[in-house]
Structure 1
Amino acid sequence: MKYLLVHQDEDDEDEFWGRCAGVEGMFVDRVPPPREVLTLRGCDPEGLLRDALMPNGESTALLGDVCVEVWDEEQPLQWWSLLDCVVITHQSNRDDPALVDVVVGAGVEEEHAWSHTLPATPRFKLFAGPTRTPGSAGHCLAVDGLFVMRGAPAPTPMRLVGCEPAEPMLAVLRRPRKWDRDWVGLWALDRTGRVMYRHNVHLRIETARPSVLGCGLLDIRLTDGGDDRPPLLARPIWETWYRGAPTTRNQWAALSAQGRSEWLDLTATGMNEQGPDRSDDVHHLDGTYVTDMPGLHCAMAEALVGPGGYYGREWNAFKDCLHGGFGVCAPFTLIWHDADVARRALADEIWDTEKGLTYFEEIVQLLESFGVTVVLQ
């Protein structure tokens, strides 16, 4: 049995609801939103958008993801993401030739359904760029095609295979509609029985039938397995972890940046099991494979708490760990071997836009601000 079914009761206590041999539909690639054509009217472009409208051999019409915020006089009311945004064409605005109308193609995601009345004089602010705080891309007077109804993507079902339900789960199966707004935890186990991942699913049960595995087990089909399931590329990473928590360094090194992020997600499950904090030790970071931000955090965690350990997945979580409670706290010494690998690889990852610091420089500065002695070699 590779999965447990666990429900949290009214007292926040975990209650065993059953177990199952497998799950089909645990790994699902996110379906991108359909492409749309929108017109940014009356634009005063800045940054990447301005560069895209004045091609010079280096600029590009590919803007990446663009954030559009609609503001009243004081604050943003709503925002949208224009995913993989591409400039199609542009021309001078008819009412004000100093401004420009820009036609773009993009997939549109909105934070939540629009529920405001559009202000009398709305302001549409644009942001674009690869940094943590995207740079301004200017503003515009209106966005044609933005305020339309967009249907939610069709849910992707999940099937619990070879399920052995406990009595609480049997009660759900007897009256499934009563529970379709509730949820249950689906905990993945490694072969030692350790929990390696936790996922929540709604109890919207379509069918419950005798299992293909026999033995009195059930196969239960859920209408929707949830929005935050791991992508398909995570499946072989899970297989590695299924054999047991990693005990050797750099097992993540051959993975892509996205694969390394999935690796970090698996380390987070055991974040509260790393023992009391130690300090004043010397730690060695192998920087050979630190070629992206997830790789930095994989190597950092291995240096501080060992293979498979957790010490943050990004800047904010890393800062939280430095406060203590995750196995290591300052002061300590970190010897960062082959630091130039990360310095070069993250040179374009500007984290502090005001100071112009890269992600690598910001991490070093953060460590030093907590009293860590960082030796770059």
Structure 2
Amino acid sequence: MKYLLVHQDEDDQEEFWGRCAGVEGMFVDKMPPPREVLTLRGCDPDGLLRDALMPNEESTALLGDVCVEVWDEEQPLQWWSLLDCVVITHQPNRDDPTLVDIVVGAGVEEEHAWSRTLPTPPRFKLFAGPTRTPASAGHCLAVDGLFVTRGAPARTPMRLVGCEPAEPLLAVLRRPRRWDRDWVGLWALDRTGRVMYRHNVYLRVETARPSVLGGSLLDIKLTDGGKDRPSLLARPIWETWWRGVPATRNRWAPLSAEGRSEWLDLTATGMSEQGPDRSGGVHHLDGTYVTDVPGLHCAMAEALAGPGGYYGREWNAFKDCLHGGFGVAAPFTLIWRDADVARQALADDIWDTEKGLTYFEEIVQILESFGVAVALR
């Protein structure tokens, strides 16, 4: 059995609901939203957007992801993402020639099911750029085509194969309306029985039939396996971890940035297994393969918590770990070998736009602020 089915009530009490031999549909690539044409009406462009209207040898019409914030007089009330935004054309605004109407193509992603009620008058602020804190791209008076009804994304089903349900799950299956609001945690186990990943899914049961594996087992089809499932490229990574927590360093090194992020997700399951904090001592970080942000955190975790260990997946989580509770607490010494690999690879990844610090520089600064002696070699 590779999966446990565990229900957690409002008091965080866990109850065993069953187990199954496999799950078909655990790995799913997120489908991008369909492309749309929108008009940024009455724009005063800035930054990348301004450069896109006056292209030179360095600027292009490709804006990447653009954040649209809807403001009242004081604060943002709504925000939307225009994914892979491209400038198609532009022309002077009819009512105010000092402003410009910009036609763009993008996939529109709602950050929330916003109401269509707008403040009076609304202000639309635009942000774009490759940094983690996108820079201002100007503002506009309206965004034609933004506030339309979009269909819900297609559901991707999930099948629990070879399921041995316990009584609470059997009770759900006996209901006339099986797809009520019950949810269950799918806990993926490695071959030693250790939990290596947790995924929550609502039990919207479409069918429950005798299993292809025979006996009294069931195959249960769920109408939707839920959001935030691992991507398809995570499947071979899971196979590596299924054999047990990696015992050697740099097993993540051949992976892409996306694969390294999936690797970090698996380390996070063991964040409560780090043991009591220890401080002092010298830790060695192998910077040979730190060519992206996920790679930095893979190498950092190995330096501080060992192969397969957890020490944050991104900036905020890393800072939380430095406060203690994850096996290693400051002060200590970190010797970062081949630090120039990360320095050069992340030179364009600006984290602090006010200070102009790259992600690499920001991580070093955080370490030093916690009393870590960092030696860049």
Q: Which amino acid aligns with 2:154?
A: A
CA distance in 1, matches of 2:317, 2:205: 36
The residue that corresponds to 1:131 in the other structure is 131
CA distance in 1, matches of 2:11, 2:71: 42
Query: How do residues 203-352 of structure 1 correspond to structure 2 at under 5 angstroms?
Result: 203-352=203-352
Q: Between the two proteins, what is the percent identity of the paired residues? A: 89
The residue that corresponds to 1:89 in the other structure is 89
Post-superposition Cα deviations, 1:102-129, rounded to whole Å, max 9, x if no partner, equal: 0000000112233152233211100001
Query: Are 1:5 and 1:185, in contact at CA under 8 Å, matched by a contact in 2?
Result: yes
Quote the offset at 1:70 in angstroms.
Answer: 1.1
Superposition TM-score, scaled by structure 2 size: 0.98
Post-superposition Cα deviations, 1:271-320, rounded to whole Å, max 9, x if no partner, equal: 00110111111000000000000000000000001000000000110000
Q: CA RMSD in A?
A: 1.0
The residue that corresponds to 2:200 in the other structure is 200
**1:313–1:375 CA distance, 2 compared to 1 (3 A):** same
User: What secondary structure, in the 3-state scheme, does the structure 2 residue paired with 1:118 have?
Assistant: coil
Quote the offset at 1:13 in angstroms.
Answer: 1.1
Q: Which amino acid aligns with 2:28?
A: V
CA distance in 2, matches of 1:14, 1:144: 48
Query: Are 2:178 and 2:205, in contact at CA under 8 Å, matched by a contact in 1?
Result: no
The residue that corresponds to 2:184 in the other structure is 184
CA distance in 1, matches of 2:242, 2:235: 10
User: What secondary structure, in the 3-state scheme, does the structure 1 residue paired with 2:26 have?
Assistant: coil
Q: Paired residues, what number? A: 377
Query: How do residues 105-124 of structure 1 correspond to structure 2 at under 5 angstroms?
Result: 105-124=105-124
CA distance in 1, matches of 2:316, 2:165: 39
CA distance in 1, matches of 2:10, 2:143: 46
User: What secondary structure, in the 3-state scheme, does the structure 2 residue paired with 1:177 have?
Assistant: coil
Q: Which amino acid aligns with 1:175?
A: R
Q: Which amino acid aligns with 1:281?
A: G
Quote the offset at 1:71 in angstroms.
Answer: 1.1
CA distance in 2, matches of 1:115, 1:325: 41
Query: Are 1:29 and 1:232, in contact at CA under 8 Å, matched by a contact in 2?
Result: yes
Query: Are 1:176 and 1:205, in contact at CA under 8 Å, matched by a contact in 2?
Result: no
CA distance in 1, matches of 2:251, 2:289: 11
The residue that corresponds to 2:36 in the other structure is 36
Would you say 1:360 and 2:360 are equivalent positions? yes
Quote the offset at 1:176 in angstroms.
Answer: 5.9
Would you say 1:80 and 2:80 are equivalent positions? yes
Query: Are 1:25 and 1:225, in contact at CA under 8 Å, matched by a contact in 2?
Result: yes
**1:275–1:62 CA distance, 2 compared to 1 (3 A):** same
The residue that corresponds to 2:19 in the other structure is 19
Quote the offset at 1:177 in angstroms.
Answer: 2.1
The residue that corresponds to 2:3 in the other structure is 3
CA distance in 1, matches of 2:177, 2:228: 23
The residue that corresponds to 2:375 in the other structure is 375
Superposition TM-score, scaled by structure 1 size: 0.98
User: What secondary structure, in the 3-state scheme, does the structure 2 residue paired with 1:65 have?
Assistant: strand
The residue that corresponds to 1:55 in the other structure is 55
Query: Are 1:26 and 1:225, in contact at CA under 8 Å, matched by a contact in 2?
Result: yes
CA distance in 1, matches of 2:25, 2:3: 13
State which drifts further: 128-137 or 9-18: 9-18
User: What secondary structure, in the 3-state scheme, does the structure 1 residue paired with 2:103 have?
Assistant: strand
State which drifts further: 47-56 or 175-184: 175-184
CA distance in 1, matches of 2:10, 2:293: 39
Query: Are 1:176 and 1:204, in contact at CA under 8 Å, matched by a contact in 2?
Result: no
CA distance in 2, matches of 1:215, 1:339: 57
Structure 2 regions of 5+ residues with no counterpart? none
State which drifts further: 4-13 or 92-101: 4-13
CA distance in 2, matches of 1:260, 1:175: 42
User: What secondary structure, in the 3-state scheme, does the structure 2 residue paired with 1:272 have?
Assistant: helix
Q: Which amino acid aligns with 1:146?
A: L
CA distance in 1, matches of 2:26, 2:129: 32
